[in-house]
Amino acid sequence: TWTAGNVIAEQVAAIREQVGDARVICGLSGGVDSSVAAALVQKAVGDQLTCVFVDHGLLRAGEAEQVEQDFVAATGVNLKVVDATEQFLSALAGVTDPETKRKIIGREFIRTFEAAAREIVEEAGQDEEVRFLVQGTLYPDVVESGGGEGAANIKSHHNVGGLPDDLQFELVEPLRTLFKDEVRAVGLELGVPEGIVWRQPFPGPGLGIRIVGAVDAERLAVLRAADAIAREELTAAGLDRDIWQCPVVLLADVRSVGVQGDGRTYGHPIVLRPVSSEDAMTADWSRLPYDVLARISSRITNEVPEVNRVVLDVTSKPPGTIEWE
Ligand code: XMP
């Protein structure tokens, strides 16, 4: 029978067997998957683990701070924070194709982990290399990246289909057979803080795949501001546990005419994509209360000058995917 306790016992044994007494790093995003993967590996091999948090400049407002506060405070895990914003944004400059963006982000993550691994070894004064990289890959990530049996490549998740061919690490992926609800159960059993366990999913490639068009610092700032407003209002309305996640998307290459005060505007649309789901393999659009939608819309158009229109995505999955890219 499936219990979180059994999964933990099995995975802890498997991780010890795979890793031995080698050094391990874990890419930590602050989300459910990587946090639970890190907690499992910490339980298995303790201080052999160092978590690496990569700020790729594609994060939402306040996220970097949250990881340090919530996860590290709860687990006492070794954490290395890397600011790789310039590296990611220059690698993404001018790129509009979604799969190309995903592959670039996947590759830059690995390059950043490689550099962090070298520094960790140097700082520890050891000459032994870091051989293992822990990732919080879930079963649906594998399936959608074309790794499952008979599955088509729908999109290359950054941690599966987006990995470079010359990967130096051996992967440790203790959640690879699990769905999100199972990961949450394992996390609760391991004592991962509820604030992390119940966080809504946020993709590793971050806001980079929520700007339709090329990604740059100005566009990211616009999207970050709109996203923060949407999240604030959804939380204030008590809807966080009712919706699975709500991507906020900037249509950066689309402009439309508006009016504000006495003047004409020519701004960008923001798309709200609230969905309900069990496992992200299928989803339905969430019927949010109109007054909440109205507040989000009027606040975004008032507070974010580059945005003059807010639209609601009413497509289920299939035929739409949850993210736009
Ligand atoms: P889609 O857009 O395929 O998304 O319907 C399904 C779920 O996966 C998340 N997602 C990702 N998560 N790396 C991740 O860690 C990725 O590359 C990635 N792409 C999509 C998405 O937010 C949704 O929860």
CA–CA separation, 29 and 204 (whole Å): 7
* CATH value at residue 269: 3.30.300.10
pLDDT in tens, 4-28: 999 999 999 999 999 999 999 999 9
Instruction: Please give the number of the atom of ligand 1 that sits closest to the Cα of 162.
Output: 17
- Residue 85 C-alpha to ligand 1 middle, in angstroms? 21
The finding on whether 157 has its CB within 6 A of some atom of ligand 1 is yes
Question: Do residues 215 and 208 make contact, with C-beta atoms less than 8 angstroms apart?
Answer: yes
Report the pLDDT value the prediction gives residue 207, as an integer from 0 to 100.
98
Instruction: Report DSSP state, residue 207.
Output: G
Residues 76 and 135 in one domain: yes
Last residue of a domain, one of 153, 168, 197: 197
Nearest to 186 by CA among 43, 19, 23: 43
Q: Which domain holds residue 60?
A: 4-197
Residues 21 and 162 in one domain: yes
Kindly state whether residue 49 falls inside one of the protein's structural domains.
yes
Residues 144 and 288 in one domain: no
Nearest to 101 by CA among 114, 111, 88: 88
Residue nearest to atom 10 of ligand 1 (CA): 203
Report the pLDDT value the prediction gives residue 24, as an integer from 0 to 100.
97
Kindly state whether residue 83 falls inside one of the protein's structural domains.
yes
* CATH value at residue 58: 3.40.50.620
Last residue of a domain, one of 197, 223, 255: 197
Report the pLDDT value the prediction gives residue 68, as an integer from 0 to 100.
80
Binding site residue list? 29-35
Residues 104 and 179 in one domain: yes
- Residue 323 C-alpha to ligand 1 middle, in angstroms? 7
Kindly state whether residue 261 falls inside one of the protein's structural domains.
yes
Kindly state whether residue 273 falls inside one of the protein's structural domains.
yes
The finding on whether 280 has its CB within 6 A of some atom of ligand 1 is yes
Residues 150 and 11 in one domain: yes
Cα 206 from chain centre: 5
CA–CA separation, 110 and 88 (whole Å): 11
Kindly state whether residue 122 falls inside one of the protein's structural domains.
yes
Beta-strand relationship, 307-312 and 275-276: unpaired
Residues 91 and 115 in one domain: yes
Report the pLDDT value the prediction gives residue 8, as an integer from 0 to 100.
98
Kindly state whether residue 170 falls inside one of the protein's structural domains.
yes
Residues 66 and 151 in one domain: yes
Residues 296 and 246 in one domain: yes
pLDDT in tens, 62-80: 898 888 888 888 888 999 9
Instruction: Please give the number of the atom of ligand 1 that sits closest to the Cα of 202.
Output: 22
The pLDDT averaged over each successive group of 10 residues in the chain (325 residues) is 96 98 95 96 97 97 85 89 97 98 97 96 86 96 78 84 91 97 97 93 97 98 98 98 97 97 96 96 98 98 98 98 98
Residues 57 and 108 in one domain: yes
pLDDT in tens, 234-267: 999 999 999 999 999 999 999 999 999 889 999 9
The finding on whether 203 has its CB within 6 A of some atom of ligand 1 is yes
Pocket test for ligand 1, best of 144, 173, 323, 325 (most atoms within 8 A of CB): 323
- Residue 257 C-alpha to ligand 1 middle, in angstroms? 32
The total of structural domains in the chain comes to 2
Beta-strand relationship, 256-260 and 263-272: antiparallel
CA–CA separation, 231 and 28 (whole Å): 22
Last residue of a domain, one of 148, 175, 197: 197
Residues 221 and 174 in one domain: no
Residues 44 and 144 in one domain: yes
Residues 39 and 154 in one domain: yes
pTM: 0.95
